[in-house]
Structure 1
């Protein structure tokens, strides 16, 4: 990951959420669940190599060469990391909403 500041900020926010959950529920198990769910959520957004996955899915088994990266996108946007794709955004939204719902129902029990 190029910018570790975002990752650190997310981990700090996760630590605050874990402390709040632990204080309100008095349950170490719920704190651990919150920790692992939070790490999975942060990792799913910040850690993937988007330059690799923005290719045709049938090409994912082959290494990425420098020539395959579209330099005009990199120069125009600074990075291809946060390109907006509606289908990917909808899938992420559904998966994260379901995960958050399941986590919330578990923690509030």
Structure 2
């Protein structure tokens, strides 16, 4: 991970959300589930090897080499738009958020 500030900021926000959830629901179990959901979400978005995942999904099964950078990349790979990857992330995190929300509001 190149920027530890993003990870620290995410963890601070997670702690605040966990405290608010715990106080609102008066449940330690729901606060713990919020922490677990938040850590999994942070690990899935902030920590992955972006050189590997910032490629079309069809190339995820091939290895990434640092030796031969792609000269055709004018924009940093972090800002490339891949619709299939966006669909996968939206589906996984949308479903997880829905299940978390149902659990918290029950």
Question: Does the 8 A contact of 1:51 with 1:80 survive in 2?
Answer: yes
Deviation, 1:71, is 4.3
Q: Which residue of 2 aligns with 1:89?
A: 86
Of 99, 103, 106 in structure 1, the residue corresponding to residue 100 of structure 2 is: 103
TM-score (norm 1): 0.83
Equivalent residue of 2:48, what SS? Answer: coil
Equivalent residue of 2:14, what SS? Answer: helix
Deviation, 1:68, is 3.6
Q: 2:10 matched to 1:10?
A: yes
Equivalent residue of 1:66, what SS? Answer: coil
Question: Does the 8 A contact of 1:50 with 1:81 survive in 2?
Answer: yes
Question: Does the 8 A contact of 1:51 with 1:69 survive in 2?
Answer: no
Matches within 5 A, 1:60-75: 60=63, 64-73=64-73
Deviation, 1:69, is 2.9
RMSD in angstroms over aligned alpha carbons? 1.7
Structure 2 residues not aligned, in runs of 5+:
none
Q: Which structure carries more helix by proportion?
A: 1
Q: 2:45 matched to 1:45?
A: yes
TM-score (norm 2): 0.85
Number of residue-to-residue matches in the alignment: 103
Question: Does the 8 A contact of 1:14 with 1:35 survive in 2?
Answer: yes
Question: Does the 8 A contact of 1:22 with 1:30 survive in 2?
Answer: yes
Question: Does the 8 A contact of 2:14 with 2:38 survive in 1?
Answer: yes
Structure 1 residues not aligned, in runs of 5+:
none
